[in-house]
Structure 1
Amino acid sequence: MWYWSLKAPGAAMLALALAACTNIRQQPYTQDETVDRAKADQVRMYADQEPVTGPITFYEAAARALKYNLDHRLKLMESALAVNLRDVSSYEMLPRLVASAARTGRDNDSGGTSIGIEDRQVSLRASTSEERYRNLSSLGLSWSTLDFSIAYYRTAQKADQILMAEERRRKVAQNVLQDVRNAYWRALGAQRLLPQVDGLLKRTNDALRQAREAQDKGLMPRQEILAYQRALLDSVSLLTIRRQDLEFSQAELRALMSLPANSPMQLVDTPDPVLPMIGPDVSQLEQLSLVRRPEIMEEWYRKRVNERDMEIAKAQLWPSIGVSVSTQYDSNIYLYNNHWNAVGIDVSINLLKLLALPSLNATQQSQRETDDARRIALSMAILTQVRVGALRYQLTLQEVQFANESLRVDTSLLDYARAAKKTTLGSDLEVIRAEGRYLLSRYQREAAFSNAEAAWGRLYNSVGLDVFPTAIDSYDIKTLAAEIERVTTDMEQNKLIRGGTGASLVKR
């Protein structure tokens, strides 16, 4: 390291360098660079995924969503980052071991003269005891109680922030599972209904074309043929709207599983599972939600992080004890000892800072009360979610029963219309109408069942239940799906939750 006296040419060069630093121009990305970045990002979205080799079950869809969902991946990265930050912070508790080496130089000699204190007369001629160019080196070990205390509390904060990041990851995973449960059954209903809807739309459009031809040829009264066309157009409009809803549900499921939009997707078409029944006692669900919900746990860890901030502020009020040990070397030939060891200890305290202690105590108490109030308010909101979730699920079960009854009636009407069909145009219309009502009832039944499954998933979510292993990345899709199915089945068949009294909250 070199030190030189700053003269006019050096000052001018320094000014030019500073001016150049402050004159940095904006450099936006080019269009080609933007396109290349977009293509690379799109490749990374679907990279390293197991290919879809057959029909997908609900649990495989949940496994794919958990393993490849980008939001969940982001939370995993945040958790890993929090761990790395904790590890870095823990090294701050170690003593400081600093090694340095330098070479200094100047363009003239340092030195001076001495004068008498009383008579102010020069007593020595100008002399120096320092070389113009010399080497310096040192190796020092230092430790401070204040630095150690601050590093300790910071590391403890980082450890709590790891736990907070894990709770956020749990929440994202629970939300992903809820979304999959909602989208999967709607997509399965779409897979069942879309071919029938497309077939009926084709027949309806053919009937509409025939009606226009009959109108042009005057085969039927004008008012009757227009009413017939009006009924057909209403049927086409309603079927088209329902068809769009069905297609949207399939697109949503693909997005949740991080599958490309144009990739084929076949779902396993098995009989719908039996919907569980909730027992009359919901208090145990409420109690469990206060224990398991990630949001409450995160707030509880946040309270401890805030406590550490106050401990750091208090640690800065007390005396700081510093200890240092070092070995030094100076190549100056005029020194009697070019190499020496040094030991030091110092104690320091800012007495005026002690005046802030009462305010810090009051702030700490206010912070505790605020953290508790925020957690209690969140707990109340969660209890409300559990109660509303249980009530909503009960209502969706009633909707499923009503939809099943409606489907039974419309099925009978369709059978009657087909049996009574004649060769007249009006009979065809009645069959088309009956098929339209039948498909609408099928759609409403599938929608009611998917709503019930979604409500059941929201109840899972409101309680904070986890149905997935911790290390998701270490499982393949089949193993992860089997694990999710095992845990879910165990929860539902074994009373979902066993309270202190062993009462059954969920029964088949």
Structure 2
Amino acid sequence: MRRSKTILLSLSAAVFITGCSIKPEPLLPKDIKSSVKKDLQLLSNIVKPITKAITLEEAIDRAVNNNIRNRVQKMESALAYKQIDMVYYDMLPSLAANAGYSVRDNYAASASTSFTNGQPDQISGTPSYSVSQDKERTTTDVSFNWNILDFGLSYVRAKQQSDKYLMAKENEKKVTQNIIQEVRRTYYQTVSADALLKRIVPMKDEVKDALVQSRKVKLQRVSSPMEALSYQRELLEVLRSLQSLERNLMNAKLELSELMGLKPGTKFELSEKVRKNYDLPEIKMALEDMEKVALENRPEVLESRYKERISSKETTTAILKMLPGINLNAGINYNDSDYLLNNDWASYGASVSWNLINIFKGNTYNKIAKTQIELAKEQKLAVSMAVLSQVHLSIVNFKQAKKEYELSKEYLDVAEEIFNLTEVGNDLNMNSRLVFIKEKLNYILSTLRHSSSYANVQNSYGRIFASLGTYSDMKKEEVKAKKVEKKLVKKIMPAVEKKEMKSPTFKTYGIATSNLNVRAEASLDSEVKYVLEKNKKVEILKTISIKNDVWSKIEDGYVSSTFLEIQTTEVK
């Protein structure tokens, strides 16, 4: 006996000491590095390589298939589907197999005595002991147990879980639509950013060069210090605007790369380019039809319908909880005891249990279930009203975006004309050069507003289909509404990249304010070919700057721009 107790205490102490010896083990640096290497490799291999310029359709396809957020949502839907199987298993009866082995260090011997007048007789001095079990025993059994009430409840829960899975699928659809909408927005933002970033860097260099020249003029005291400092302040303001614009544009491509599931730093080009004229999309569906389509297809509305169906099943659950539970059981047993006549046997039976308190709770359960149904109906109506409002709002925003686009186009045309005039009439003194730089910046900003307004049109157009919940139709409509240039138009901002520019839409003329010498070259030392009479009008082909002199190229030679009155006429 003492030996058995000693062994038991020793085992208990060993288990206790082992449990206390467990300490937190942080990840080793080499394990972290190995994990990071694998993660980077997975991120690199998660998408197919880029072999050509990416269209909007391809960007959407990459985002839907490769975006990490969308993949997580799909896995959550798959998990919800697997949980349906788990609930189905709850409807099945329990089938348990048990086995046991027990040992005593002595026999469980016992004696008995007579029971008289409510009291046991005293055991004699030499009692007779009996044994009914071995010191070592082995038992096994397989038991079957099924509660019919639990089966009914599990069946209802399985139906509800099926609806929850369908809700998860609708939520997955909603996430997909949101991602597609974000891709559409960032795609056109990136198109604008790619085009304008290529113009900003040269202009920054030009502004910096003007600052250097201004500082030299200040040191040479050619002009007053106040005039030079004011000029530098204006230039610095332009430079600050350019840097702020550059910072905002640089984020667009990174955001699009993340949405498409590309590894940060992956280089890619977009097939769409900035244009001056676009064909705007049109919506031909009637508003009443759009409302019906939205209520039939929007994930939020369908999700609220599934919630209503789940709540309606709570009434069935409340009724089942009031019923008694009928438990059926059966089993096959085995015991190797030598003292048993039958070492194996079968057993079966049935029992009924009824929690009578549930009868009184039943009315409350039923009221709660009906309240949940009414709440679900009201929630569905609220969601439906919100969806209808979004449809109407998307139409209003689309129409407003088109108006803003038309206004931005007119503004760009005016800014382009002003820029052309300032470039032709620039004589490179301090004030006119500052005006030239400002107008160039205004031209870039007006181009940004124009391309951004078109991106807003496309974004508003996409939101209409997103409000309808039919983005697959939107992609088909996108192909049909793809922009095709009706005529050849000049690319946006050609003059920003060129020091000298011949305007394709204007002709520039100069009227001599006095008699001018027409020279063979743009130099005062060049040969005089003839004299241009006062008030004579000639076409200026281009303007060139040499040191502090500005020369105009005409058909027969060069004349000084100082004595020309510049006029610009639109070519019809």
User: What is the TM-score normalised by the length of structure 2?
Assistant: 0.75
| 1:441 aligned residue (446, 466, 470) | 446
Q: What's the % identity of the aligned pairs?
A: 28
Counterpart check, 1:456 vs 2:461: yes
Is the contact made by 1:46 and 1:258 (CA closer than 8 Å) also made in structure 2? Answer: no
Q: Which runs of 5+ in 2 are unaligned?
A: 484-572
Residue aligning to 2:59:
61
Q: Over residues 405-463 of structure 1, what are the superposed CA-to-partner deviations in whole Å (9 max), with x where a residue is unaligned?
A: 00111111122222223353444333322221111110111111112222222222222
Task: Note if contact 1:102-1:135 (Cα within 8 Å) is conserved in structure 2.
Answer: yes
Aligned to 1:245: 248
- Pairs within 5 Å for 1:157-168: 157-168=160-171
- Residue aligned with 1:103, SS: strand
Over 3 Å counting, the alpha-carbon distance change for 1:167 and 1:319 in structure 2 is same
Indicate whether 1:256 and 2:259 are aligned: yes
1:413 to 406, 411, 418: 418
Q: Secondary structure at the match of 1:84?
A: helix
Contact 1:467 1:488 in 2 (8 A): no
- Encode CA deviations 1:49-73: one digit per residue, 9 max, x unaligned: 1011111111111111111111101
1:486 aligns with 2:476: yes
C-alpha displacement of 1:398: 1.0
1:40 to partner: Cα distance: 4.1
* Secondary structure of 2:185 counterpart: helix
Distance 1:189 1:6, change over 3 A: farther
Q: What is the aligned partner in structure 2 of residue 400 from structure 1? A: 405
* Pairing partner for 2:231 from 198, 205, 228: 228
2:321 and 2:362 in contact (8 A); partners too: no
Partner of 2:111: 113
Query: What is the letter of the counterpart of residue 476 of structure 2?
Result: R
How far the C-alpha of 1:45 sits from its partner, in A, is: 3.4
Match of 1:70 in 2: 68
**Structure 1 residue 218 and structure 2 residue 233: aligned?**
no
Question: Given residue 207 of structure 2, which amino acid in structure 1 is its aligned partner?
Answer: T
Contact 1:406 1:441 in 2 (8 A): yes
Q: Deviations over 1:234-277 (max 9, x none)?
A: 22222222222211111211111122322212111355763323
Q: Which runs of 5+ in 1 are unaligned?
A: 469-483, 494-508
Distance 2:298 2:154 in 1: 31
Amino acid aligned to 1:465: T
Higher helix fraction (1 or 2):
1
Query: CA offsets per residue over residues 149-181 of structure 1, 9 Å max, x none?
Result: 232223222212211111111111001011011
Aligned pair 1:133/2:142, yes or no?
A: no
- Seen in structure 2, the aligned counterparts of structure 1 residues 305 and 464 have a Cα distance that, compared at 3 Å, is same
Q: More deviation in 66-75 or 250-259?
A: 250-259
TM-score (norm 1): 0.84
State the distance in 2 between where 1:490 and 1:366 align: 48
**Per the alignment, in what secondary structure is the counterpart of residue 438 of structure 1?**
helix
Deviation at 1:232, TM superposition (A): 2.1
Partner in structure 2 of residue 206 of structure 1: 209
Deviation string, structure 1 residues 287-314 (Cα, Å, up to 9, x no partner) = 3322222122223223333444554454
- How far apart, CA to CA, are the structure 2 residues paired with 1:488 and 1:280? 15
- Give, in whole Å, the separation in 1 of the partners of 2:401 and 2:237: 28
The equivalent of 1:391 in structure 2 is 396
Using the TM superposition, give the Cα deviation of residue 341 of structure 1 relative to its aligned residue in structure 2, in angstroms.
Answer: 1.6
Distance 1:109 1:316, change over 3 A: farther
- Give the whole-Å Cα distance in 2 for the aligned partners of 1:128 and 1:352: 46
Q: Between Structure 1 and Structure 2, how many residues are aligned? A: 474
* Cα distance in 1 for residues equivalent to 2:4 and 2:400: 84
1:182 aligns with 2:180: no
1:324 matched to 2:329? The reply is yes
Q: 2:87 aligns with which of 86, 89, 92?
A: 89
Distance (whole Å) between structure 1 residues aligned to residue 317 and residue 285 of structure 2: 50
1:80 pairs with 2:70 = no
**CA distance in structure 2 between the aligned counterparts of 1:332 and 1:491, rounded to whole angstroms:** 86
1-structure distance, mates of 2:286, 2:133 = 89
Residue 50 of structure 1 pairs with residue 55 of structure 2: no
Query: Secondary structure of the residue that 1:334 maps to in structure 2?
Result: coil
User: Letter of the aligned partner of 1:441 in structure 2?
Assistant: S
Distance 1:30 1:307, change over 3 A: farther
Change over 3 Å in CA distance of 1:169–1:137 after alignment to 2: same
- Greater relative CO, 1 or 2 (CA 8 Å, sep 6+): 1
Between Structure 1 and Structure 2, the one with more strand by share is 2
The 1:85/1:255 distance shift into structure 2, 3 A limit, reads same
Partner residue in 1 for 2:344: 339
Question: Counterparts of 1:459 and 1:260 in 2: how far apart (Å)?
Answer: 31
Correspondent of 2:437 among 432, 444, 447: 432
> In 2, Cα distance between the equivalents of 1:126 and 1:352?
49
The equivalent of 2:156 in structure 1 is 153
SS of match in other structure, 1:467:
helix
- Other structure's SS at 1:277 match: coil
Coordinate RMSD, CA, aligned: 3.0
Q: Partners of 1:290 and 1:355 in 2: how far apart? A: 41
